[in-house]
Structure 1
Amino acid sequence: MLKTLVWQPSSVDPNASTPTGPGNVPVVQELADVTEISDILASGNSCVWLDLVGATPEELALIQEEFSLHPLAIEDAARQAQRPKLEEYDDTYFMVVFAIEMNQGLVRVGNVFEVAEAEPPPRKFGWLEGTPFHLHEVDLFIGSHFLITSHSVPLPVIDKVWKRWASQPGPIESGTGTITYRVLDAIVDEFFPVLDGIVEEVEELEQRLFTQVQKGAKNNDLRALFRIKRDLLQLRRVLGPERDAVLALSRQDIPLFDRRVTFYFQDVYDHIARLTDSLDVYQDMLTNALESYLSLVSNNLNEVMKTLTSVTVMFMVPTLIAGIYGMNFKLMPELEMELGYPFALTLMIGSAVALFIYFRRREWI
């Protein structure tokens, strides 16, 4: 499925069929016939945004012909599963980024996410099993007068930018730089709520782990800890290369965009840099929390073993005395003593009490 927006200056040919707008405000309309795109771009005074959802080979071949796209870029868009990158093909740039979407197919059970009983239709790409979000690849073909966004499933973040641009387009003089910035900025900003939710969960998890050291952490808490570490790693693997790609856009050496527009890409780069720095910090926090928890558990285990060892030694001496006087030898002087039995009991109790006092003073018990 594809849809196309065309915006052009209001001062168009009065004989043309396109409507006119007041002043210098660009006129925006949806294009029904995609085969007209090449003619519109040839005029040189219009810009096109084409959004492609679940592209078929026929649709990719069509946009390749209409926009004169490089075959290698089309091949990457068809295969999906690309890493974030920015590649230059003559007068066109091919960019891969990832959009994030909350996973509606999971429900929270205790402290972990489990699959809901009534699952929504599965997503074709971007599925991260056991995580509260999806990652979806978005391919961008960027030209001086066109922008193509291609993704496997409908994305609310793209739809929001589409509706906003249709009602409030940017200046035609900026070409596709402004709309490219808006798309990238909206995609990156969607990561912040997800990261905030992960941060809250990390703080709650830390508190639960350290309060449950004495009685042991629940399996759900440990599962949640390792799941969060995996989530942060997945986000880091996406945002790291994506930061490098946006940095290339912000260097002001791309001839497609007006220099004034490239300053906006620096803002997107700052947002991604803040996300990646936060991910690194929270990964360290989780690692430190796990190491601290394991240290406390190990220390607690040592305390328990010390107590059990002390109790064992306390009963070892009385057991030794009972074993000696329980031997079946006839010539044992203590067996003929009138107070032999009370003497043995007193000796056993006294040794146990003495060892108890000794260990108590050393705080082993």
Structure 2
Amino acid sequence: MIKIFKTFGGYNEITEPTKGCWINVTRPDQLEISRLFLEFGLPKDLITDILDTDERPRIEFEDDWTLIILRIPVESNNNGVPFQTIPLGIFLSEDFTLTLCLQDNQVLPINQPSILREQYKQISDNINFVLRLFLRSGNMYLRYLKQINQMTTLIEQDLEKSIKNKELNKLLKMEKCLVFFITSIKANEIVLAKLRNSRKVITEINEDLLEDAFIENKQALEMAQIYSDIQSGMMDAFASVISNNLNVVMKQLTLISIILMIPTLVVSIFGMNVPNGMENLSWALPAIISGSLILASAGVILFRKRQWF
């Protein structure tokens, strides 16, 4: 989907590009990709790079255009992993600024183009716009990290009583999300450092915004690393908890088998086809059953006193 706006704020949507416009492209089909190449003049290799899920963040400067690729967090249902990161490409030229992403995202949602409307008067140039995207990306990382932490807390509650690996696998997928986040945030930080060292960021406003983006990015990285360290230790601990819970269940089953074996043994002895002196007594059967129950109850009491139950 391609949407063209007269300004970065997304106030006025137009049908044809004009000088200084912002073009937002998400989930392009083959016709739209051809339009990006033929009408907007994007090199084919750059389009392919941006639409590659594994493309790393980088910045390229040419005479008439600049390309910036950062990785942004998105929600995902891929194999039970709730979040992942994908590249967002920003193509800057003298005539327009184009953002390209291979799927829907919350950094630049295609159906909500007004995310920068309150700030559009403050956006002085396209570099300022790029820095605000880095800042918004950092905010999204922090938001999703809080959601991961909440999901992890719910999984912990299930793990305390679990004897299966289902919850442990969920925790492993949370750890996988954190690895994605840490890798992408570190790569974004390198791009921000290159922007700082380039001659493009020259205004005082951009320098302040760049510093804010650095701080937000660093905070997201520290949170992701803290959560990752906690989960790494937690997985080892809960693996032992699951093993211990299974041992407790096996112990209880063993004790139950012992208790049931007592009346079985008594009945088996008196049920043997040999004389035992009680063949002709009318109260023999109730006495044997009562004795079996008394011995079984005594076994239960003994086990409880030893805190085996």
- Taking structure 2 as the reference length, the TM-score comes to 0.66
Residue pair 1:243, 1:272 contacting (<8 A) in 2 also: yes
d(CA) in 2 for partners of 1:155 and 1:311?
Answer: 55
Structure 1 residue 255 and structure 2 residue 255: aligned? no
- Answer yes or no: is 1:96 the counterpart of 2:73: no
Q: Which structure has the larger Rg over C-alpha atoms? A: 1
- Pairing 1:24-39 to 2, within 5 Å after superposition: 34=17
- Which of 196, 199, 207 matches 2:146? 196
What is the CA-CA distance between 1:177 and the residue it aligns to?
Answer: 3.1
8 Å contact from structure 2 (residues 141, 181) kept in 1: no
Partner of 2:224: 279
Match of residue 258 from structure 2: 313
CA shift at 1:82, angstroms? Answer: 4.6
**Among 23, 30, 35, the residue aligned to 1:58:** 35
Deviation at 1:131, TM superposition (A): 6.7
Instruction: Give the whole-Å Cα distance in 1 for the aligned partners of 2:200 and 2:77.
Output: 34
Aligned-residue offset at 1:208: 4.9
* In 1: Cα distance, 2:77 partner to 2:60 partner: 29
1:1-365 equivalences in 2 (<5 Å): 1=2, 3=4, 34=17, 48=20, 50-53=22-25, 54=28, 55-64=32-41, 72-77=45-50, 79-91=51-63, 92-100=65-73, 128=78, 137-142=87-92, 147-152=97-102, 157-158=107-108, 159-160=113-114, 163-164=117-118, 166-170=120-124, 176-210=126-160, 213=161, 225=171, 228-229=174-175, 231-250=177-196, 252=197, 254-258=198-202, 260=204, 261-262=206-207, 264-286=209-231, 288-289=233-234, 291-316=236-261, 319-329=264-274, 334-335=276-277, 345=288, 352=296, 355-365=299-309
1:314 touches 1:356 (CA, 8 Å); kept in 2? yes
Structure 2: how far apart are the matches of 1:273 and 1:336? 86
Root mean square deviation, CA, Å = 4.7
The number of equivalent residue pairs is 290
Deviation of the 1:198 alpha carbon: 3.1
**Distance in 1 separating the partners of 2:228 and 2:3:** 39
Identity within the alignment, %: 19
**SS of residue matched to 1:188:** helix
Which blocks of at least 5 consecutive residues in structure 2 are unaligned? none
TM (norm. structure 1) is 0.58
Q: Over residues 191-225 of structure 1, what are the superposed CA-to-partner deviations in whole Å (9 max), with x where a residue is unaligned?
A: 33333233333334434544xx28x79x7x77865
Classify 1:193/1:348 alpha carbon distance in 2 versus 1 (closer, same or farther; 3 Å). Answer: closer
Q: Distance in 1 between matches of 2:14 and 2:301?
A: 91
Distance in 1 between the 2:81 and 2:293 partners? 60
In 1, are the aligned partners of 2:72 and 2:86 still within 8 Å (CA)?
A: yes
CA 1:30/1:298 → structure 2, altered by over 3 Å: closer, same or farther? closer
1:248, distance to aligned residue in structure 2 (A): 2.9
Distance 2:242 2:16 in 1: 67
Query: Matches of 2:263 and 2:103 in 1, distance apart?
Result: 76
Give 1:278 shift.
Answer: 2.0
Deviations, residues 239-286 of structure 1 (Å, cap 9, x unaligned): 343333333323x2x133227545633432332232233233334444
How far apart, in 2, do the equivalents of 1:156 and 1:82 lie? 19
- Which secondary structure does the structure 2 equivalent of 1:63 belong to? coil
* Contact 1:127 1:134 (C-alpha < 8 Å) held by counterparts: no
2 CA distance for matches of 1:196 and 1:227?
15
Residue 190 of structure 1 aligns to a residue in which SS?
Answer: helix
Higher relative contact order (CA 8 A, sep 6+): 2
The 3 A distance-change label for structure 1 pair 266 and 144 is farther
Q: Spell out, residue by residue over 1:322-343, the C-alpha distance to the aligned partner (whole angstroms, 9 max, x if none).
A: 44454434xx6x538999x69x
Distance 1:240 1:347, change over 3 A: same
Q: Offset of 1:100 from its aligned partner?
A: 4.7
Matching residue's letter, 1:364: W
Shift of 1:139: 0.7
Structure 1 unaligned residues grouped into runs of 5+: 8-28, 38-47, 104-125
- For residue 273 of structure 2, give the secondary structure of its aligned residue in structure 1: coil
Cα pair distance change 1:319/1:247, threshold 3 Å: same
